[in-house]
Chains A and B, each alone.
Chain A
C-alpha cells in the first residue's frame, strides 16, 4: 500500500495565472503585456480601456498632462474642475466615460466637503486617478484623458530620466501640458517652484527631440493657490513673470504656444496638528479660474 497517495499535500494552484498571459493586451502607455480580462495595467496602473482607445488612430482621446511639484494643488484642481463641469448645463456639454473617471471627482469633493484637502498623490501609479471625458463645443466633440500624475513621480523622472517609464510615456504622448506653480510658496519668496518648473520644461523639451526651434505642444502655466497671493489673482500676465522669472523667460524663448493663468480652490488654508503630523485644511471652498486653463488648452486642440 502506498501511503504517499493519501497524505495531505498543499500545492499552490498557479496555473490560472497562465490565463492572464494568454492573448495578452499591450498597455498603450507603458507597452507591457496584460491579461485580456484586466481592467488596469498591472505594471503602470493605467485603465486598459484607455490604452485601447489611445491606440486607435481615428478617435484617440488627447492626453492633457497636468504636472507640477508635489502638493502644488493638481489633484484638487482636476477633481473640482471635473465636478464643476459635471454640474454645468448649457454651453459646454461635458461627459465622462467609465466609473474610474468619477473617482477623482468623488475623492476631492469628499475631502473638501469634510473640511480637509486631499492627501498628496502617491508615487505608485497604480493609485493614480484617471479622468476620461469629452467636451462638445460649437458642434465639435473632443475626447481627452487627464491622468492625476504624482508630483513625486515627475520629479523622479526629471531627476533621472528613464526611471519613470509611465511618466515619460505620458509626457511623450500628451497633446498639451498644464504646469502648476505653487503661488503661495512663490509669493513667500521661495524660488523652488520656479526651478522645478524650469527643470520640467527642459525635460519636456528634450522629449520633443533634439533642440527644435520651438516646442509645439500648447503649454498653460498655472499659478495655483492665488487666494494666498491675491494681488496676482486678476493679473497673471503681470505677476507670473515676477514670481517665476526663469520659467517665464524659458517659455518665451522655447515655446510656440503658451498662456498664463491663476487658479485657486480655497480661500485660505490652515494647518492642524495630529500628534506628530500636520494636515492642511481649507478655511472655505471658493473655486476661482479652474476652467480657463483647460478651456484654453482644449480650444487649441480642436
Chain B
C-alpha cells in the first residue's frame, strides 16, 4: 500500500509540478516562489521579505535608494500589475426559481483602480516570517474588535499560528504549500504586516480575467473589434484560461490529488496577467462581504460572511471554482482549504516612485 501511494504521488508530481528548467508559461513561471532568487545576495532582507511595506509612502524616505530598488525588483518578480478599467461582476439572483436549470445572473459593471496582486498564494514559509516577527503580538495589525480573540488563533500545540501548524511552525514538506487554517483576521493581519491588503472581490475578478477569446488575434491586429468588446469577451470567460474546465490546469476534486500542492504548481492555469492558482488548490479570502453584488438576497441569519473565491482541492463541481461562483465563510473560520493572496495599491495608481522603478 505504501509503495502504491509513493508511486501515485510521484505520478502526480510528474504531471502537475513546474518542470525543472523546462519550458514555462509567461513571466510568472520564471519567478521563484521564494522572495529571494537563487544566487541573489540578501543584502536587504527587509526589501526581500516586506517590499511593499518598505515602499509605503510614509516610510519610503527612511530607506536608501538601493534598498528601494531591491524592493521594486521583488515586487516586479512576485506580483502582477493589473490595470483593466472596468470589470463585470456576475451576482446571483436569489429570488429566481430554485428548480430552474437556467443560471440566473445579475451583471454589474464596476470600475477598478490599477493594483498589484501576488502571483502566488501566500505560502507557509512566507507566513512563518510574520509569525517569527511576532505578528500575532503586535496590536497594530489587528482590529480593535478582535484583539481579545487573537490568543485563540493558535496551532495544534497552543502557540500562535495557523491551526494546522505545530510548535509554531509548519511541517517541513509543506513549506511551499499555501498557508491554510487561518481566519480572515489572520489573513488581514499578515497583509497589513507585509504592507499590503486582501483583494476585493472585483480585484480578484480583474486578476482572473481570461483571454479575450481562445483564438483572439494578437494585440495590434484587431481592425474591427473595439477595446470594449474585447474586454467583454475576457470578462465572459469562466476560468483564467478560457471557458472549459481542464483538470490539468487546476487542483480540484476532479484532478484527483485530494490535498494542497505547492503554490507554484499548475503553470498551465496562469491567468494572462501571470497570476497562478486563482482557481483551485485553496479558496481565497477577499475583502468583500458575501452577496454584495447579488439580487434579492434575504438570509434568515446574517453571519457577516466574507466572500471566498477560486475553489479548492476538494471542490466537487468545477463550476463552483469558476470566476462566477462566490462562496463564503464566517471570518473566524480556520478551514483546511482556505488561504489567501495579497494586493498592493499605491496612492496614485502605481507610479509613486518617480526615480526608482515603475510598475509598467
List residues of chain A with CB under 8 Å of any chain B CB: 80, 110, 112-116, 230, 267-268, 270-274, 278-279, 283-288
Contact = CB atoms under 8 A, between A and B. Distances in A.
Given A110-B101, A114-B98, A279-B98, A285 B316 contact: yes
B329 A113 contact: no
A284 B299 contact: no
A231 to B, nearest CB: 11
B299 A267 contact: no
A285 B325 CA distance: 12
Contact of B300 (A273, A285, A288): A273
A129 B162 CA distance: 43
Nearest to A113: B317
B301 A114 contact: no
A112 B101 contact: no
13 contacts: A112-B317, A114-B98, A114-B100, A116-B98, A270-B301, A270-B305, A271-B301, A272-B298, A272-B300, A273-B298, A283-B329, A285-B320, A287-B314
A113 B95 contact: no
B328 A285 contact: no
Given A115-B92, A267-B337, A268-B328, 10 more contacts: A113-B317, A114-B101, A115-B98, A268-B330, A274-B95, A278-B300, A279-B98, A283-B327, A284-B283, A286-B314
Contacts of A274: 95
Contact of A284 (B297, B298, B315): B315
A285 B315 contact: yes
B94 interface: yes
A283 B326 CA distance: 8
Nearest to B94: A272
A79 to B, nearest CB: 12
A139 B248 CA distance: 32
B335 interface: yes
B312 interface: yes
B299 A272 contact: yes
Interface string B98-116: 1111000000000000000
Residue of A115, A278, A284 with most partner-chain B CB within 10 A: A284
B352 interface: no
B128 interface: no
Main secondary structure of the interface of B (DSSP, over half): loop
Given A110-B101, A116-B98, A284-B327, A271 B315 contact: no
Given A284-B320, A288-B314, A271 B300 contact: yes
Contact of A270 (B253, B299, B320): B299
B22 to A, nearest CB: 29
Interface in B274-324: 283, 297-301, 305, 308, 311-312, 314-317, 319-320
A268 B332 CA distance: 13
Nearest to A280: B300
Contacts of A271: 299-301
Most buried by A among B95, B308, B320: B320
Contacts of A284: 283, 308, 311, 315, 320, 325, 327
3 A-B pairs with the lowest CB-CB distances in the bound complex, closest first: A271-B300, A284-B327, A273-B298
Most buried by B among A112, A270, A273: A270
Contacts of B94: 272
A282 to B, nearest CB: 9
Nearest to B329: A268
Contacts of B327: 267, 283-284
Contacts of B300: 270-273, 278
Nearest to A110: B101
Contacts of B101: 110, 114
Contacts of B100: 114
A251 to B, nearest CB: 29
Contacts of B299: 270-273
A271 B95 CA distance: 13
Contacts of A112: 316-317
Contacts of A80: 316
Contacts of A278: 300
Contact of B315 (A114, A230, A279, A286): A286
A119 B17 CA distance: 42
Interface in B318-360: 319-320, 325, 327-330, 335, 337
Given A270-B299, A272-B297, A273-B299, A286 B312 contact: yes
Contacts of B283: 284
A267 B335 contact: yes
